[in-house]
Structure 1
Amino acid sequence: MLCDLDNVIRFYDTAPLAAREREAGLPVGLTMEVAYAPEIDLPLLLGRITPDAWVEAIAAGLSERAGRERELTRTLGRALAEAPFRADTEVVALLRRARTHVPVVLVTNATLQLDDDLALLGLTDLADAVVSSAVERVAKPDPAIYRIAAERAGVPAERCLFVDDRQENVDAATALGMTGVLYREPADLRRALGPYADEAPERQQSSICG
Protein backbone atom coordinates (compact mmCIF):
# COMPACT_ATOMS: atom_id res chain seq x y z
CA MET A 1 0.00 0.00 0.00
CA LEU A 2 1.33 3.43 -0.98
CA CYS A 3 -0.03 6.39 0.98
CA ASP A 4 0.35 10.14 0.87
CA LEU A 5 1.19 12.02 4.08
CA ASP A 6 -0.20 15.57 4.00
CA ASN A 7 -3.99 15.93 4.05
CA VAL A 8 -4.32 12.18 4.52
CA ILE A 9 -2.31 11.47 7.66
CA ARG A 10 -0.94 14.88 8.64
CA PHE A 11 -3.01 18.05 8.92
CA TYR A 12 -1.82 21.61 9.58
CA ASP A 13 -3.49 24.23 11.76
CA THR A 14 -3.41 27.42 9.67
CA ALA A 15 -5.75 29.39 11.93
CA PRO A 16 -2.90 31.46 13.45
CA LEU A 17 -1.72 32.37 9.94
CA ALA A 18 -5.25 33.35 8.92
CA ALA A 19 -5.49 35.61 11.97
CA ARG A 20 -2.25 37.34 10.98
CA GLU A 21 -3.50 37.83 7.43
CA ARG A 22 -6.71 39.44 8.69
CA GLU A 23 -4.70 41.71 10.99
CA ALA A 24 -2.64 42.79 7.99
CA GLY A 25 -5.73 43.45 5.89
CA LEU A 26 -4.91 40.65 3.47
CA PRO A 27 -7.25 37.99 2.09
CA VAL A 28 -7.16 34.81 4.13
CA GLY A 29 -5.31 32.16 2.17
CA LEU A 30 -3.15 34.54 0.15
CA THR A 31 0.05 33.43 1.87
CA MET A 32 -0.61 29.79 1.01
CA GLU A 33 -1.57 30.70 -2.54
CA VAL A 34 1.81 32.36 -3.00
CA ALA A 35 3.75 29.73 -1.05
CA TYR A 36 2.37 26.75 -2.94
CA ALA A 37 2.84 28.17 -6.42
CA PRO A 38 5.12 25.66 -8.21
CA GLU A 39 7.93 28.13 -8.77
CA ILE A 40 8.16 28.78 -5.01
CA ASP A 41 7.15 25.42 -3.56
CA LEU A 42 8.81 22.92 -5.88
CA PRO A 43 12.43 23.89 -5.13
CA LEU A 44 11.73 23.18 -1.44
CA LEU A 45 10.06 19.84 -2.19
CA LEU A 46 12.97 18.78 -4.36
CA GLY A 47 15.47 19.54 -1.63
CA ARG A 48 17.07 22.38 -3.57
CA ILE A 49 16.44 25.13 -1.00
CA THR A 50 16.11 25.31 2.77
CA PRO A 51 12.92 26.17 4.65
CA ASP A 52 14.44 29.56 5.45
CA ALA A 53 14.98 30.21 1.75
CA TRP A 54 11.38 29.14 1.13
CA VAL A 55 10.18 31.72 3.68
CA GLU A 56 12.18 34.41 1.90
CA ALA A 57 10.67 33.40 -1.43
CA ILE A 58 7.19 33.58 0.09
CA ALA A 59 7.98 37.01 1.54
CA ALA A 60 9.18 38.29 -1.82
CA GLY A 61 6.13 36.92 -3.62
CA LEU A 62 3.73 38.36 -1.06
CA SER A 63 5.40 41.75 -1.15
CA GLU A 64 4.99 41.83 -4.91
CA ARG A 65 1.37 40.63 -4.82
CA ALA A 66 0.12 42.63 -1.86
CA GLY A 67 2.40 45.65 -1.79
CA ARG A 68 3.38 45.07 1.83
CA GLU A 69 6.75 45.58 3.48
CA ARG A 70 9.09 42.61 3.52
CA GLU A 71 9.18 42.48 7.32
CA LEU A 72 5.44 41.80 7.42
CA THR A 73 5.41 39.31 4.58
CA ARG A 74 8.36 37.47 6.11
CA THR A 75 6.35 37.14 9.32
CA LEU A 76 3.49 35.61 7.35
CA GLY A 77 5.83 33.23 5.56
CA ARG A 78 7.32 32.15 8.87
CA ALA A 79 3.83 31.60 10.33
CA LEU A 80 3.10 29.18 7.49
CA ALA A 81 6.44 27.40 7.75
CA GLU A 82 5.97 26.94 11.50
CA ALA A 83 2.27 26.03 11.45
CA PRO A 84 1.53 23.31 14.01
CA PHE A 85 0.45 19.93 12.72
CA ARG A 86 -1.18 16.77 13.97
CA ALA A 87 -1.81 13.24 12.79
CA ASP A 88 -5.30 11.86 12.18
CA THR A 89 -5.49 9.06 14.73
CA GLU A 90 -8.15 7.16 12.81
CA VAL A 91 -6.06 7.06 9.65
CA VAL A 92 -2.96 6.08 11.61
CA ALA A 93 -4.86 3.21 13.20
CA LEU A 94 -6.09 2.02 9.79
CA LEU A 95 -2.58 2.08 8.36
CA ARG A 96 -1.16 0.21 11.33
CA ARG A 97 -3.79 -2.48 10.83
CA ALA A 98 -3.11 -2.63 7.12
CA ARG A 99 0.60 -3.06 7.81
CA THR A 100 -0.11 -6.31 9.65
CA HIS A 101 -1.21 -7.66 6.24
CA VAL A 102 0.85 -5.80 3.64
CA PRO A 103 3.84 -3.45 3.28
CA VAL A 104 2.99 0.22 3.77
CA VAL A 105 5.06 2.90 2.04
CA LEU A 106 4.62 6.63 2.55
CA VAL A 107 4.96 8.56 -0.71
CA THR A 108 5.08 12.26 -0.05
CA ASN A 109 6.12 15.58 -1.53
CA ALA A 110 8.03 16.70 1.54
CA THR A 111 11.01 18.70 2.75
CA LEU A 112 14.30 17.47 4.14
CA GLN A 113 12.75 17.92 7.59
CA LEU A 114 10.45 14.93 7.07
CA ASP A 115 12.27 12.58 9.42
CA ASP A 116 12.08 15.14 12.22
CA ASP A 117 8.40 15.76 11.49
CA LEU A 118 7.57 12.04 11.63
CA ALA A 119 9.42 11.81 14.94
CA LEU A 120 7.38 14.72 16.35
CA LEU A 121 4.21 12.92 15.26
CA GLY A 122 5.38 9.65 16.78
CA LEU A 123 5.11 7.97 13.37
CA THR A 124 8.66 6.82 12.65
CA ASP A 125 7.41 3.23 12.75
CA LEU A 126 4.22 3.75 10.75
CA ALA A 127 5.55 2.49 7.41
CA ASP A 128 7.98 -0.03 6.01
CA ALA A 129 9.57 2.69 3.88
CA VAL A 130 9.28 6.41 3.24
CA VAL A 131 9.71 7.87 -0.24
CA SER A 132 10.28 11.61 0.03
CA SER A 133 10.47 13.99 -2.91
CA ALA A 134 13.23 16.00 -1.23
CA VAL A 135 15.42 12.91 -0.87
CA GLU A 136 14.65 11.33 -4.23
CA ARG A 137 14.72 14.72 -6.03
CA VAL A 138 11.51 13.89 -7.86
CA ALA A 139 7.96 14.88 -6.88
CA LYS A 140 4.46 13.61 -7.50
CA PRO A 141 2.95 13.40 -10.06
CA ASP A 142 6.20 12.45 -11.82
CA PRO A 143 5.91 8.71 -12.63
CA ALA A 144 9.44 8.11 -11.34
CA ILE A 145 8.46 8.57 -7.70
CA TYR A 146 5.71 5.96 -7.99
CA ARG A 147 8.13 3.46 -9.50
CA ILE A 148 10.55 4.09 -6.64
CA ALA A 149 7.75 3.49 -4.12
CA ALA A 150 6.65 0.24 -5.77
CA GLU A 151 10.25 -0.95 -5.74
CA ARG A 152 10.53 -0.17 -2.02
CA ALA A 153 7.32 -2.13 -1.46
CA GLY A 154 8.85 -5.01 -3.38
CA VAL A 155 6.04 -5.54 -5.87
CA PRO A 156 5.02 -4.50 -9.40
CA ALA A 157 3.04 -1.29 -9.78
CA GLU A 158 -0.03 -3.30 -10.78
CA ARG A 159 -0.22 -4.75 -7.27
CA CYS A 160 -0.15 -1.40 -5.49
CA LEU A 161 -2.96 0.59 -3.94
CA PHE A 162 -2.18 4.31 -3.97
CA VAL A 163 -3.99 6.83 -1.74
CA ASP A 164 -3.68 10.60 -2.15
CA ASP A 165 -5.80 13.73 -1.69
CA ARG A 166 -4.89 15.22 -5.09
CA GLN A 167 -6.56 13.95 -8.24
CA GLU A 168 -3.52 14.54 -10.46
CA ASN A 169 -1.41 12.37 -8.16
CA VAL A 170 -4.00 9.59 -8.22
CA ASP A 171 -4.26 9.83 -12.01
CA ALA A 172 -0.49 9.46 -12.36
CA ALA A 173 -0.59 6.31 -10.22
CA THR A 174 -3.43 4.73 -12.16
CA ALA A 175 -1.61 5.48 -15.43
CA LEU A 176 1.10 3.12 -14.18
CA GLY A 177 -1.44 0.39 -13.46
CA MET A 178 -1.89 1.06 -9.74
CA THR A 179 -5.28 1.10 -8.05
CA GLY A 180 -5.89 4.71 -7.11
CA VAL A 181 -8.01 6.15 -4.31
CA LEU A 182 -8.82 9.85 -4.02
CA TYR A 183 -8.84 10.59 -0.28
CA ARG A 184 -11.38 12.89 1.31
CA GLU A 185 -12.11 11.23 4.67
CA PRO A 186 -11.07 8.14 6.65
CA ALA A 187 -14.04 6.22 5.27
CA ASP A 188 -12.39 6.37 1.82
CA LEU A 189 -9.34 4.60 3.18
CA ARG A 190 -11.40 2.10 5.13
CA ARG A 191 -13.40 1.16 2.04
CA ALA A 192 -10.27 0.79 -0.06
CA LEU A 193 -8.61 -1.47 2.48
CA GLY A 194 -11.67 -3.65 2.96
CA PRO A 195 -10.78 -6.56 5.28
CA TYR A 196 -7.25 -5.22 5.64
CA ALA A 197 -8.63 -2.38 7.75
CA ASP A 198 -9.36 -4.92 10.48
CA GLU A 199 -6.99 -6.23 13.09
CA ALA A 200 -4.95 -9.22 11.92
CA PRO A 201 -2.63 -11.57 13.83
CA GLU A 202 0.11 -11.58 11.21
CA ARG A 203 1.14 -10.05 7.94
CA GLN A 204 0.23 -11.96 4.81
CA GLN A 205 0.55 -11.57 1.02
CA SER A 206 -2.20 -9.70 -0.78
CA SER A 207 -3.05 -7.88 -3.98
CA ILE A 208 -2.35 -4.42 -2.55
CA CYS A 209 1.40 -4.15 -2.44
CA GLY A 210 1.95 -7.51 -0.83
Structure 2
Amino acid sequence: MPMSHALPFDAVLCDLDGVIRFYDTAEVTRLEREAGLPEGTTAAIGYAPETDLPLLLGQITRAQWTRTIAQGLGSHVSSSQAQALAHAFAGAGSRADEAVVGLLRQVRERCPLVVVTNAPVWLDDDLAVLGLADLADSVVNSSLVGVAKPHRRIYEIAAEQAGARPDRCLFVDDRQENVDAAREIGMATVLYRAVEDLKAALAPVL
Protein backbone atom coordinates (compact mmCIF):
# COMPACT_ATOMS: atom_id res chain seq x y z
CA MET A 1 0.00 0.00 0.00
CA PRO A 2 1.48 3.42 -0.93
CA MET A 3 2.63 5.58 1.96
CA SER A 4 1.55 9.13 2.65
CA HIS A 5 3.06 11.80 0.41
CA ALA A 6 4.69 13.23 3.52
CA LEU A 7 7.54 10.95 2.36
CA PRO A 8 9.53 11.79 -0.79
CA PHE A 9 8.67 8.39 -2.32
CA ASP A 10 6.17 5.60 -1.77
CA ALA A 11 8.39 2.63 -2.65
CA VAL A 12 12.04 1.66 -3.07
CA LEU A 13 13.06 -0.41 -6.07
CA CYS A 14 16.57 -1.79 -5.68
CA ASP A 15 19.00 -3.66 -7.91
CA LEU A 16 20.61 -6.82 -6.55
CA ASP A 17 24.07 -7.40 -8.03
CA GLY A 18 26.52 -4.60 -7.42
CA VAL A 19 24.35 -3.13 -4.66
CA ILE A 20 23.20 -5.94 -2.36
CA ARG A 21 25.10 -8.97 -3.66
CA PHE A 22 28.73 -9.32 -4.71
CA TYR A 23 30.43 -12.32 -6.31
CA ASP A 24 33.65 -13.97 -5.15
CA THR A 25 35.84 -14.05 -8.25
CA ALA A 26 39.10 -15.08 -6.57
CA GLU A 27 39.14 -18.56 -8.11
CA VAL A 28 38.41 -17.21 -11.57
CA THR A 29 41.22 -14.68 -11.20
CA ARG A 30 43.62 -17.41 -10.07
CA LEU A 31 42.76 -19.59 -13.05
CA GLU A 32 43.11 -16.66 -15.45
CA ARG A 33 46.58 -15.93 -14.12
CA GLU A 34 47.59 -19.57 -14.46
CA ALA A 35 46.35 -19.56 -18.04
CA GLY A 36 48.12 -16.27 -18.85
CA LEU A 37 44.86 -14.43 -19.45
CA PRO A 38 44.28 -10.78 -18.50
CA GLU A 39 42.11 -10.53 -15.40
CA GLY A 40 38.47 -10.05 -16.34
CA THR A 41 38.64 -11.96 -19.63
CA THR A 42 36.16 -14.59 -18.45
CA ALA A 43 33.74 -11.99 -17.13
CA ALA A 44 33.90 -10.07 -20.40
CA ILE A 45 32.84 -13.22 -22.25
CA GLY A 46 30.33 -14.38 -19.64
CA TYR A 47 28.58 -11.03 -19.38
CA ALA A 48 28.65 -10.15 -23.08
CA PRO A 49 25.04 -9.52 -24.18
CA GLU A 50 25.05 -12.35 -26.70
CA THR A 51 26.16 -14.77 -23.96
CA ASP A 52 24.35 -13.38 -20.94
CA LEU A 53 21.05 -12.00 -22.18
CA PRO A 54 19.51 -15.38 -23.14
CA LEU A 55 20.22 -16.56 -19.58
CA LEU A 56 18.72 -13.42 -18.07
CA LEU A 57 15.58 -13.85 -20.16
CA GLY A 58 15.15 -17.46 -19.10
CA GLN A 59 15.88 -18.81 -22.57
CA ILE A 60 18.87 -21.05 -21.72
CA THR A 61 20.01 -23.14 -18.76
CA ARG A 62 23.03 -22.69 -16.53
CA ALA A 63 24.72 -25.60 -18.34
CA GLN A 64 24.15 -23.99 -21.73
CA TRP A 65 25.49 -20.67 -20.44
CA THR A 66 28.57 -22.40 -19.06
CA ARG A 67 29.21 -24.14 -22.39
CA THR A 68 28.93 -20.86 -24.25
CA ILE A 69 31.48 -19.25 -21.93
CA ALA A 70 33.87 -22.17 -22.43
CA GLN A 71 33.46 -21.89 -26.21
CA GLY A 72 34.25 -18.18 -26.03
CA LEU A 73 37.40 -18.90 -24.04
CA GLY A 74 38.45 -21.69 -26.39
CA SER A 75 40.35 -19.40 -28.74
CA HIS A 76 42.44 -18.07 -25.83
CA VAL A 77 43.33 -21.15 -23.77
CA SER A 78 43.27 -24.95 -23.88
CA SER A 79 39.96 -26.80 -23.75
CA SER A 80 40.56 -27.96 -20.17
CA GLN A 81 41.46 -24.45 -19.04
CA ALA A 82 38.39 -23.03 -20.76
CA GLN A 83 36.16 -25.60 -19.06
CA ALA A 84 37.68 -24.90 -15.64
CA LEU A 85 37.31 -21.15 -16.03
CA ALA A 86 33.73 -21.40 -17.29
CA HIS A 87 32.64 -23.64 -14.43
CA ALA A 88 34.41 -21.46 -11.84
CA PHE A 89 32.75 -18.36 -13.24
CA ALA A 90 29.26 -19.83 -13.57
CA GLY A 91 29.43 -21.38 -10.10
CA ALA A 92 31.08 -18.51 -8.23
CA GLY A 93 29.86 -17.95 -4.69
CA SER A 94 28.55 -14.63 -3.46
CA ARG A 95 28.07 -12.56 -0.33
CA ALA A 96 25.58 -9.93 0.75
CA ASP A 97 26.66 -6.48 1.90
CA GLU A 98 25.24 -6.50 5.42
CA ALA A 99 25.30 -2.70 5.68
CA VAL A 100 23.08 -2.40 2.62
CA VAL A 101 20.85 -5.25 3.78
CA GLY A 102 20.41 -3.54 7.13
CA LEU A 103 19.36 -0.26 5.51
CA LEU A 104 16.89 -2.00 3.23
CA ARG A 105 15.35 -3.96 6.10
CA GLN A 106 14.81 -0.67 7.91
CA VAL A 107 13.26 1.05 4.93
CA ARG A 108 10.90 -1.86 4.33
CA GLU A 109 9.31 -1.07 7.68
CA ARG A 110 8.24 2.28 6.25
CA CYS A 111 7.43 1.56 2.61
CA PRO A 112 7.36 -1.31 0.08
CA LEU A 113 10.70 -2.67 -1.10
CA VAL A 114 11.04 -4.45 -4.45
CA VAL A 115 14.25 -6.02 -5.76
CA VAL A 116 14.54 -5.46 -9.53
CA THR A 117 17.22 -7.61 -11.08
CA ASN A 118 18.50 -9.12 -14.29
CA ALA A 119 19.01 -12.64 -12.98
CA PRO A 120 18.68 -16.32 -13.92
CA VAL A 121 15.79 -18.57 -13.00
CA TRP A 122 17.58 -20.02 -9.96
CA LEU A 123 17.71 -16.65 -8.18
CA ASP A 124 15.32 -17.70 -5.39
CA ASP A 125 17.71 -20.48 -4.38
CA ASP A 126 20.62 -18.04 -4.30
CA LEU A 127 18.67 -15.60 -2.12
CA ALA A 128 17.76 -18.39 0.30
CA VAL A 129 21.43 -19.38 0.66
CA LEU A 130 22.30 -15.75 1.45
CA GLY A 131 19.48 -15.44 3.98
CA LEU A 132 17.72 -12.86 1.80
CA ALA A 133 14.56 -14.75 0.87
CA ASP A 134 12.51 -12.36 3.02
CA LEU A 135 14.43 -9.15 2.28
CA ALA A 136 11.90 -7.58 -0.08
CA ASP A 137 8.14 -7.51 -0.49
CA SER A 138 8.68 -8.93 -3.97
CA VAL A 139 11.40 -9.69 -6.50
CA VAL A 140 11.10 -8.78 -10.17
CA ASN A 141 13.43 -11.22 -11.91
CA SER A 142 14.10 -10.65 -15.62
CA SER A 143 14.23 -14.37 -16.40
CA LEU A 144 10.72 -14.84 -14.99
CA VAL A 145 9.04 -11.72 -16.41
CA GLY A 146 10.73 -12.03 -19.81
CA VAL A 147 12.17 -8.53 -19.98
CA ALA A 148 15.44 -7.12 -18.66
CA LYS A 149 16.75 -3.75 -17.55
CA PRO A 150 17.00 -1.22 -19.08
CA HIS A 151 13.75 -2.06 -20.90
CA ARG A 152 10.97 0.26 -19.74
CA ARG A 153 8.55 -2.57 -18.98
CA ILE A 154 10.55 -4.10 -16.14
CA TYR A 155 10.39 -0.81 -14.23
CA GLU A 156 6.65 -0.60 -14.78
CA ILE A 157 6.22 -4.16 -13.47
CA ALA A 158 8.27 -3.30 -10.37
CA ALA A 159 6.20 -0.19 -9.67
CA GLU A 160 2.99 -2.19 -10.11
CA GLN A 161 4.20 -4.81 -7.63
CA ALA A 162 5.11 -2.04 -5.19
CA GLY A 163 1.65 -0.51 -5.57
CA ALA A 164 3.14 2.86 -6.43
CA ARG A 165 3.22 5.18 -9.43
CA PRO A 166 6.60 5.32 -11.18
CA ASP A 167 7.03 8.96 -10.21
CA ARG A 168 6.63 7.96 -6.55
CA CYS A 169 9.38 5.32 -6.66
CA LEU A 170 13.05 5.56 -5.75
CA PHE A 171 15.19 3.33 -7.97
CA VAL A 172 18.71 2.24 -6.96
CA ASP A 173 21.19 0.62 -9.36
CA ASP A 174 24.94 0.52 -9.98
CA ARG A 175 24.67 0.80 -13.78
CA GLN A 176 24.18 4.18 -15.42
CA GLU A 177 22.02 2.89 -18.29
CA ASN A 178 19.59 1.30 -15.82
CA VAL A 179 19.37 4.48 -13.77
CA ASP A 180 18.82 6.57 -16.90
CA ALA A 181 15.97 4.30 -18.03
CA ALA A 182 14.25 4.57 -14.64
CA ARG A 183 14.60 8.33 -14.69
CA GLU A 184 13.01 8.48 -18.13
CA ILE A 185 9.74 7.12 -16.74
CA GLY A 186 9.77 9.59 -13.86
CA MET A 187 11.46 7.68 -11.04
CA ALA A 188 13.79 9.29 -8.54
CA THR A 189 17.13 7.52 -8.91
CA VAL A 190 20.39 6.71 -7.17
CA LEU A 191 23.50 5.63 -9.06
CA TYR A 192 25.00 3.35 -6.43
CA ARG A 193 28.75 3.48 -5.76
CA ALA A 194 28.94 3.05 -1.98
CA VAL A 195 26.66 2.48 0.99
CA GLU A 196 26.79 6.21 1.73
CA ASP A 197 24.88 6.83 -1.51
CA LEU A 198 22.06 4.64 -0.25
CA LYS A 199 22.10 6.15 3.24
CA ALA A 200 21.72 9.65 1.82
CA ALA A 201 18.84 8.67 -0.44
CA LEU A 202 16.97 6.79 2.29
CA ALA A 203 17.56 9.37 5.02
CA PRO A 204 14.10 10.96 4.66
CA VAL A 205 12.39 7.69 5.58
CA LEU A 206 14.97 6.32 8.01
> Helix, strand or coil: the match of 1:195?
coil
Q: Quick one: which amino acid aligns to residue 42 of structure 2?
A: T
Unaligned runs of 5+ in 2: 1-11
5 Å-filtered alignment, 1:54-133, equals 54-64=65-75, 66=76, 68-133=77-142
Query: Does the alignment pair 1:144 with 2:153?
Result: yes
Shift of 1:158: 0.4
Shift of 1:169: 0.1
Identity of aligned residues (%): 58
Q: Distance in 1 between matches of 2:139 and 2:42?
A: 29
Q: Distance in 1 between matches of 2:79 and 2:30?
A: 18
Q: Distance in 2 between matches of 1:99 and 1:174?
A: 22
Stretches (4+) displaced over 3 A: none
1:25 aligns with one of 30, 33, 36:
36
Aligned counterpart, 1:182: 191
1:153 aligns with one of 157, 162, 175:
162
Shift of 1:27: 1.0
Q: Distance in 1 between matches of 2:189 and 2:166?
A: 11
Query: Does the alignment pair 1:52 with 2:63?
Result: yes
Count of residue pairs brought into register by the alignment: 195
Aligned counterpart, 1:201: none
Tell me the TM-score normalised to structure 2 length: 0.93
Q: Is the 8 A contact 1:97 1:196 kept in 2?
A: no
- Note the aligned Cα RMSD (angstroms): 0.8
Q: Which one is further off, 25-34 or 158-167?
A: 25-34
Tell me the TM-score normalised to structure 1 length: 0.91
Unaligned runs of 5+ in 1: 198-210
> Helix, strand or coil: the match of 1:19?
helix
- Listed one character per residue, the Cα deviations across residues 48-77 of structure 1 (whole Å, up to 9, x for unaligned) are 00111101000111113x1x2322212101
